């Protein structure tokens, strides 16, 4: 709930980390990369063999 109230919910962050369409997403990139690393660690996956997408697939899901 606390994350939904953060200023990150109002930030356009279209694209992938370090390759965003809009500028000023350094902190969003850091957060997304951290989530990717933690997801890989949680499932004991080798990052050289696996990738993970932690982005919501639609706007309606992302607000939950």
| Residue that has been written with the tokens 């890989």 in this structure | 40
User: Residue 17's pLDDT band (boundaries 50, 70, 90)?
Assistant: very high
Q: Is residue 28 classed as helix, strand or coil in its secondary structure? A: helix
**Backbone phi, psi, residue 27, to 5°:** -75, -35
Check if the beta carbon of residue 31 is closer than 8 Å to that of residue 8: yes
pTM as predicted:
0.77
Distance CA 52, CA 55 (A): 9
Q: Mind listing the pLDDT tens digit for each residue in 36-63?
A: 999 999 999 999 999 999 988 776 656 6
């Amino acid at each position: 709930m606390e994350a939904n109230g953060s200023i990150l919910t109002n930030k356009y962050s279209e694209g992938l980390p370090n390759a965003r369409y809009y500028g000023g997403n350094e902190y969003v990139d850091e957060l997304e990369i951290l989530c990717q690393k933690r997801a890989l660690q949680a499932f004991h996956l080798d990052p050289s063999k696996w990738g993970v997408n932690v982005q919501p697939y639609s706007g309606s899901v992302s607000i939950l």
